[in-house]
Structure 1
Amino acid sequence: MKRICLLLPNGFEEVEASVFTDVFGWNLLEGDGTTKLVTVGTREQVKGTWNFTVIPEMVISEVNTDEFDALTVPGGFEHADYYKDAYREDVLTLIREFHEKGKFIASICVGALPLGKSGILKGRNGTTYNLSSGHRQNQLRSFGVNVLPDQPVVMDGNIITSHNPSTAFDVAFKLLELLTSKENCNHVKKLMGFK
């Protein structure tokens, strides 16, 4: 069974987290059944950008990276204190541990910024939120990342980054394909109504 850690910092954007729960949930029940997603919060109860409250299955201090095959990081909003939580040292350490062990790391939108801050994207290709005058892409550049501004989804080695919430399903399906197979991913996509 492949296990996916869905990291939920306070202020996470709900839709960006939910695509991972849906895609991997569908795979567990209707796909090849080889994936299990585990929600991991920075605290015992986390609140999303739009006030959706979640009680995660685990808190970050309980995570043993050896028990997981991938890490997923949704983005979030500054007004909801996303960066305050996503830039915590325990979050950055967790990201580094997944990377050092060669595990897949998939982020959506500004979920790339804690990856950048952790140092794992330095000298590599990536992207992040692409609107609002490129402010977030400039932040990612400040971490030494080669930002590809015109590519909605960028994969460099084991790391996936993306532009904005509209790319969320693309990222989740790409990770499913990497953890299972293209054939299985296409089967799940079809069952979920994607062509």
Structure 2
Amino acid sequence: MKKVLLLLANGFEAVEASVFTDVIGWNETDGDGSTKLVTVGLREKLKCTFNFTVIPEMLINEVNVDEFDALAIPGGFEEAGFYEDAYSEDFLNIIREFDKAGKIIASICVGALPLGKSGVLVNRNATTYNLNNGIRQRELAEFKVNVLPDEPIVIDKNIITSYNPSTAFPVAFKLLEMLTSEENCNKVKCKMGF
């Protein structure tokens, strides 16, 4: 069984998290059955961007990175406190551990910013939220990241980044493909109506 750690910061965007739970969940029931997703946070209750409340299955201090095959990080809103959790040392250290082990890391939208802050994207290609005059892409570049501003999804070795919520399903499907196979991913897409 391949396990995905869905790392949630307070203030995360529910839609960006839900694509990972759904795609990995659909694979568990209607695909090859080889994946499982575990939600993890820094707090016992997390409030997403628009006040939806989530109780993670594990707290970050309980995580053993060796038990997981991939890390998924949805973005969130600064106004909802996203960066308070996403820029914390505990959050950044999980990212570093996954990258050091060469495990897949998939992020959506500003989920790339904690990757940049952690240092795992130094001199690597990536992207992040592309609207609002490119302010978030400039922030990512400040972490010595080679930002590809016009690419919706950027894959550099083991890391997937994307530029806004519209890329959520494609990123989740790419993660599933990397964990299983293109054939299996296409099967799940069909089952989900894509």
Residue in 1 that maps onto 2:160 = 160
Shift of 1:42: 1.3
* CA distance in structure 2 between the aligned counterparts of 1:182 and 1:163, rounded to whole angstroms: 23
Q: 5+ residue gaps in structure 2?
A: none
Partner of 2:191: 191
**Shift in Å at residue 136 of structure 1?**
0.2
Name the aligned partner's letter for residue 44 of structure 1.
E
Measure the CA separation in 1 of the matches of 2:59 and 2:166: 28
Residue 129 of structure 2 corresponds to which residue in structure 1?
129
SS at match of 1:72: strand
After superposition, what is the alpha-carbon deviation per residue over 1:97-148, rounded to whole angstroms, capped at 9, x for unaligned?
0000010000000000000000000000000000000000000000000000
Q: What value does the CA root-mean-square deviation take over the aligned residues?
A: 0.4
CA deviation digits over 1:44-97, x for unaligned, max 9?
111100101001100100000000000000000000000011000000001000
Give the number of equivalent residue pairs: 194
1:61 pairs with 2:97: no
Counterpart AA for 1:184? N
What is the aligned partner in structure 1 of residue 179 from structure 2? Answer: 179
- Give the alignment's TM-score, normalised by structure 2: 1.00
The ranges of structure 1 where at least 4 consecutive aligned residues each deviate by more than 6 angstroms after the TM superposition are none
Aligned to 1:78: 78
**Identity percentage of aligned residues:** 72
Q: Give the TM-score of the pair, scaled to structure 1.
A: 0.99
* AA at the equivalent of 1:62: E
CA distance in 2: counterparts of 1:95 and 1:52, whole angstroms = 25
Partner-residue secondary structure (3-state), 1:20:
helix
C-alpha separation between the residues in 2 aligned to 1:85 and 1:41? 9
Q: Show structure 1 runs of 5+ residues with no match.
A: none
